[in-house]
Amino acid sequence: MDISTNNGTEMTGIASTHTSSTACQRIPPDSRPVPPHTTSPTMRPATGEPGDSLEERRKLLDDVTHSIDAAADYWATRKEEFLWLAGELYLGFVDPAMFYGEEPFFEQDMFNLLFTEWTLFEFPFYKGLTPLQEYAAHPPVDASPQDVRWMREVMDAQFFSRFEIRHKEPASGMTTLVDVCTSKRYDVFDEVLCNVDRWKSGTIAMRIARVGDLWLHVGKVHLYDRAEAHFTAVDGPGAFHPEDRINKPWAEQAGFYLRLIRDLIGLDGRYRATTKLVSTEWSDR
């Protein structure tokens, strides 16, 4: 399932006609450099590293996804430690319009998906660490060493941003993306993005992480906007908007993802009026 706007955004969406003077603000991971890739649109060269073939890339993604799911399952049994506070902060900032009887409306599963993405990857619940960072730093005794290794790699170089879609190669599952916030280029393995036909140009908001020599889509969220990237390169969805400086100055510290969700589904969200749900189904196997 994805969410889409009639003006250009799919949530798995966004609309994109508003521009003003505030640049897109997102801070990439500071624990590990995030260099732009310099490979050609035919994607990365063979290196002998895991991920050179489609089967290897799929296997790596499966392993990484398993490690994230294992950590999520661990915290699901301990949710009383943080869930109430996470919910208060998330709902207090986003202020979903559907709670007031306003569009966009969507099912509980989608609402939980958006909330869980933020809680696991970005909610600093324990001494500034997110649940996934805490799991990687202090894994339970019964955790798989391989799962912990993958988790630590993901946590070292993962971030959520909006990317211009430059090139897609469905046969290999590789896509060339350019970060709207930093103009850095990434070659990313994401078979879903590559195989949804209507996600052609425009931008996709999602979380990527570098594992070994390969950038992967991690997390569960795709937010697609049909509008060309230059329409939202300045003060677009997820930015710290000029009105925030007056009405909600703490939004600057909320993070790109939380501001983006607020813009799309919040009662005062700048792009709420053109956000809608669109069903997307695709299987790689």
**Residue-wise pLDDT tens digits, 205-217:** 999 999 999 999 9
E strand residue ranges, 190-248? 203-211, 214-225
CA distance 106 to 4: 12
**Residue-wise pLDDT tens digits, 32-82:** 333 333 333 334 433 445 557 999 999 999 999 999 999 999 999 999 989
Lookup: tokens for 70: 């294992």
Residue 284 banded pLDDT, cuts 50, 70, 90 = low
* Per-chain mean pLDDT for the chain: 82
Say if residue 87's pLDDT is above 70. yes
Torsion sign over Cα 186, 187, 189, 195: positive
Say if residue 238's pLDDT is above 60. yes
Torsion sign over Cα 220, 207, 238, 131: positive
Return the axis-axis angle of helices 108-122 and 256-265, rounded to nearest 10°: 160
Angle formed at CA 111 by CA 19 and CA 73, multiple of 5 degrees: 125
- Give the pLDDT score at 161: 95
- Give the pLDDT score at 6: 32
**Residue-wise pLDDT tens digits, 147-186:** 999 999 999 999 999 999 999 999 999 999 999 989 999 9
Long-range contacts of 165-168 (CB under 8 A, 24+ apart): 165/193, 165/199, 165/200, 165/201, 165/202, 165/203, 165/204, 166/41, 167/41, 168/193, 168/194, 168/199, 168/200
Say if residue 7's pLDDT is above 60. no
**Residue-wise pLDDT tens digits, 112-150:** 999 999 999 999 988 899 999 999 999 999 999 999 999
Provide mean pLDDT across the span 233-239.
Answer: 79
Cis previous bond, 104, omega within 30: yes
